[in-house]
Amino acid sequence: MATDPISGGEAIIRCLENEGVEYIFGYSGGAVIPIFDAMVTTNTRIQFVLTRHEQGATHMADGYARATGKPAVVLVTSGPGATNTLTGIMTAHMDSVPMIVLTGQSVTPMIGKDAFQEADIFDITMPVVKHSYLVKESNQLPRILRESFHIATTGRPGPVLIDVPKDVSAGDCTADLHAPMDLPGYRPDTPEYEPADVQEMAEMLSKSRRPLILAGHGAVMSRAEKEIRRLAEKIKAPVTTTLLGKGAFPESHPLSLGMLGMHGTAYANKAVCECDLILNIGSRFDDRILGNPAQFAKQARILHIDIDRAEVYKMIRPDLYCVGDAREVTAELAKHVPELDTGDWIERLAKYRRKYPLRYRKQGGLKMAHIIDELYKMTEGRAVVATDVGQHQMWAAQFYRSDDPHNFLTSGGAGTMGFGLPAAIGAQFGRPDDLTVAIVGDGGFQMTCYELATARLHNLPLKIIVMNNHYLGMVRQWQELFYEDRTSGVDLEGNPDFVKLASAFGVKGFNLRRSGDVRKVLGRMLEWNDGPCLINAEVEKTDNVFPMVPAGKALEDMMIDPPRKGQKLDKPTGST
Amino acid sequence: MKTGGANSREIHALSVYVANKPGVLARVAQVFSRRGFNIESLVVSPAMDGTFSRMTIGVSGESEVLDQLIRKVSKLVDVLHCTDHTYDDTVTKEMALIKLAVGSEDRAEALQISEHFGCKTVDLTENSMILMATGDPEKLDALVGMLSKFRMIELVNTGAVIMSRGEGET
Ligand SMILES: Cc1ncc(C[n+]2csc(CCOP(=O)(O)OP(=O)(O)O)c2C)c(N)n1
Residue A555 resides in a domain: no
User: A309 vs chain B: nearest CA distance in angstroms?
Assistant: 7
Backbone dihedral angles phi then psi of residue A75, each to the nearest 5 degrees:
-135, 120
Q: How confident is the model at residue B2 (pLDDT cuts 50, 70, 90)?
A: very low
Is residue A226 domain-resident? yes
Do A525 and A389 lie in one domain? The reply is yes
Q: Are residues B117 and B147 in the same domain?
A: yes
* Shared domain check, A374 and A341: no
Judgement on whether residues B84 and B108 belong to the same structural domain of the protein: no
Peptide bond into A547 cis (omega under 30): yes
How much is the pLDDT for B9?
A: 56
Beta-carbon neighbour count of residue A12 at 10 Å?
Answer: 32
Chain A residues with CB under 8 Å of B71 CB are 309-310, 312
Instruction: Output the pLDDT for position A190.
Output: 56
Q: Look at residue B170 and tell me if it is in a domain.
A: no
Task: Please give the full DSSP string across A179-233, using - where no structure is assigned.
Answer: PPP--TT--TT-----HHHHHHHHHHHHH-SSEEEEE-HHHHHTT-HHHHHHHHH
Q: pLDDT tier at B143 (50, 70, 90 boundaries)?
A: very high
Mean pLDDT in chain B? 91
C-beta separation of A452 from A502 below 8 A: yes
Q: Does any domain span residue A388?
A: yes
In a shared domain, residues A255 and A398? no
Neighbouring residues of A464: CB distance < 8 A, sequence distance ≥ 6: A421, A424, A437, A438, A440, A445, A452, A502, A507, A532, A533, A534, A535
Confidence check: pLDDT of A4 > 70: yes
Query: What per-residue confidence (pLDDT) applies to A189?
Result: 64
Candidate from A132, A308, A313 with C-beta closest to B67: A313
* CB contact burial B124-159 (16+ within 10 A = b; e otherwise): eeeebbbbebebebebbeebbebbeebeeeeeeebb
Residues B96 and B84 in one domain: no
Cβ-Cβ contacts under 8 Å for A262 (sequence gap 6 or more): A288, A289, A291, A548, A549, A551
- How much is the pLDDT for A521? 98
Give phi and psi for A498, each to the nearest 5: -65, -30
Q: Indicate whether A157 and A214 sit together in one domain.
A: no
For residue range A21-30, list pLDDT tens digits in order. 999 999 999 9
Side chain identity at A437, as an amino acid letter? V
Distance from CA of B157 to the nearest CA of A (A): 29
Q: What is the torsional sign of CA B3, A288, A327, A251?
A: positive
Residues A296 and A317 in one domain: yes
Provide, rounded to the nearest whole percent, the portion of chain B with pLDDT above 90: 83
User: Domain check: are A385 and A302 in the same one?
Assistant: no
Q: Which residues pair with A436 in a beta bridge?
A: A384
Instruction: Identify whether A571 is part of a domain.
Output: no
As a three-state string, the secondary structure of A479-505 is HHHHCCCCCCCCECCCCCCHHHHHHHC
CA contacts within 13 A on the Cβ side of A536: 19
Q: Residue B28 domain-assigned? A: yes
- Within a domain: residue B45? yes
- Residues A465, A470: Cα–Cα separation, whole Å: 14
| Gap between the Cα atoms of A384 and A427, Å rounded | 8
**Residue A575 in domain:** no
Q: Is the same domain home to B41 and B79?
A: yes
Q: Cα–Cα distances in Å, from A510 out to A388, A470, A494, A530?
A: 20, 17, 20, 14
Give yes or no for residue B5 having a pLDDT over 50.
Answer: no
Tell whether ligand 1 has an atom less than 6 A from the beta carbon of residue A475.
yes
Is B114 within the bounds of a domain?
Answer: yes
Residues B84, B15: one domain?
yes
Q: In a mutational test of the pocket of ligand 1, which residue from A58, A472, A476, A479 has the highest number of ligand atoms less than 8 Å from its CB?
A: A472
Q: CA-CA distance, B170 to A74, in Å (whole number)?
A: 41
Asked whether residue A320 is domain-assigned, the answer is: yes
Mean pLDDT to the nearest integer, A293-314: 93
- Residues A471-482: tens digit of each pLDDT: 999 999 999 999
In CATH, what number is assigned to the domain containing residue B151? 3.30.70.1150
Query: Does A126 sit within 8 Å of B18, measured CB to CB?
Result: no
Q: What is the mean pLDDT of residues B147-161?
A: 94
Of A327, A356, A385, the one marking the end of a domain is A356
- Measured CA to CA, the distance from residue A267 to residue A273 in angstroms comes to 10
One-letter-per-residue 3-state SS of chain B: CECCCCCCCCEEEEEEEEECCCCHHHHHHHHHHHCCCEEEEEEEEECCCCCEEEEEEEEECCHHHHHHHHHHHHHCCCEEEEEECCCCCEEEEEEEEEEEECCHHHHHHHHHHHHHCCCEEEEECCCCEEEEEEECHHHHHHHHHHHCCCEEEEEEECCCEEEECCCCCC
Write the CB contacts of B82 (distance below 8 Å, at least 6 apart in sequence): B14, B15, B16, B17, B28, B70, B73, B74
* Distant-in-sequence, close-in-space partners of A200: CB < 8 Å, separation ≥ 6: A320
Q: Which of A89, A389, A395, A490 to mutate to test the pocket of ligand 1 (most atoms within 8 A of CB)?
A: A389
Cβ-Cβ contacts under 8 Å for A558 (sequence gap 6 or more): A266, A269, A291, A547, A548, A549
Same-domain status, A241 and A212: yes
The average pLDDT across B143-160 equals 95
- Let me know if residue A181 belongs to a domain: no
- Condensed to tens digits (0 to 9), the pLDDT of residues A557-570 reads 999 999 888 788 88
Q: Is the dihedral of CA A333, A338, A339, A344 positive or negative?
A: negative
A252: left (phi over 0), alpha (psi -120 to 50) or beta: alpha
Does position B8 have pLDDT exceeding 60, yes or no?
A: no
Tally the domains of chain B. Answer: 2
Please give the pLDDT value at position A3.
Answer: 61
Residue at B5 is within a domain: no
Average pLDDT over residues B47-73: 93
A324 in helix, strand or coil? coil
| A235 and A135 housed in the same domain | no
A313/B3 CB distance under 8 A: yes
Residues B16 and B69 grouped into a single domain: yes
A297-306: average pLDDT? 96
Is B33 a domain residue?
yes
Q: How far is A247 from chain B (nearest CA, A)?
A: 28
The total number of structural domains in chain A stands at: 3
pLDDT at B54: 96
- Listed residues B55, B88, B121: the one ending a domain: B88
- Start-to-end CA distance of chain A, whole Å, equals 55
**Which CATH number is A239's domain given?**
3.40.50.1220
Query: What per-residue confidence (pLDDT) applies to B3?
Result: 32
> Do A131 and A207 belong together in one domain?
no
Residues of A in contact with B68 (CB under 8 A): 310, 313-314
Decide: A247 and A253 in contact? Cβ < 8 Å: no
Reference A415, options A389, A446, A397, A385; nearest CA is A389
- For A181-238, write each residue's pLDDT tens digit: 999 999 886 567 889 999 999 999 999 999 999 999 999 999 999 999 999 999 999 9
Write out pLDDT tens, residues A261-300.
999 999 999 999 999 999 999 999 999 999 999 999 999 9
Residue A163 lies in a domain: yes
In the listed set B37, B69, B88, which residue is the last one of a domain according to the structure?
Answer: B88
Together in a domain, B82 and B99: no
In whole angstroms, what is the distance from residue B167 CA to residue B170 CA? Answer: 9
Mutate-to-test residue for ligand 1 from A465, A474, A493, A543, highest number of ligand atoms within 8 A of CB: A474
Q: Ligand 1 centre from B103 Cα, in Å?
A: 70
Predicted confidence at residue B4, as pLDDT, reads 33
Q: Domain limits at B63? A: 11-88
At A342-386, the pLDDT tens digits run 999 999 999 999 999 999 998 889 999 999 999 999 999 999 999
Question: Could you give the CA distance from residue A378 to residue A440 in angstroms, rounded to a whole number?
Answer: 19
B113 within domain boundaries:
yes
User: What is the Cα A536 distance to its own chain's centre?
Assistant: 24
Same domain as A251, residue A125: no
Beta strands A533-538 and A463-468 are parallel
Active site residues of A: 54, 116-117, 166, 474
Residues B84 and B95 both lie in one domain: no
In ligand 1, the atom with minimum distance to the C-alpha of A477 is: 19
Q: Which atom of ligand 1 is nearest to the CA of A415?
A: 25
The answer to whether residues A519 and A378 belong to one domain is: yes
**Domain termination site, one of A317, A336, A356:** A356
Are residues A227 and A95 part of one domain?
Answer: no
The answer to the question of residue B6 being in a domain is no
Q: What is the spatial distance between Cα A102 and Cα A31, in angstroms, rounded to a whole number?
A: 11
Structural domain harbouring A115: 6-173
The backbone torsions φ and ψ at residue A172, rounded to the nearest 5 degrees and listed phi first, read -85, 140
Please write the tens of the pLDDT for every residue from B28-41: 999 999 999 989 99
Helix axes A8-18, A141-153, angle to 10 degrees: 30
How far is the centre of ligand 1, averaged over its atoms, from the C-alpha of A554 (Å)?
Answer: 24
Which residue among A356, A387, A417 closes a domain? Answer: A356
d(CA A127, CA B33): 11
What is the average pLDDT score of chain A? 96
Domain boundary pick from B65, B88, B111 = B88
* Higher pLDDT pick, A411 / B62: A411
Could you give the CA distance from residue A62 to residue A298 in angstroms, rounded to a whole number? 37
Check whether residue B125 and residue B72 sit in a common domain: no
Tell me the CA–centroid distance for residue A441 and ligand 1, in Å. Answer: 8
B51 and B73 assigned to the same domain: yes
Pairing of strands A159-165, A99-105: parallel
Q: Which residues of A touch B22 (CB under 8 A)?
A: 134
CA A478 / ligand 1 centre spacing (Å): 12
CATH of the domain at A80: 3.40.50.970
In this structure, the answer to whether residues B18 and B83 fall within a common structural domain is yes
Same domain, B73 and B136: no
Q: What is the rounded CA–CA span in Å between residue A162 and residue B135?
A: 44
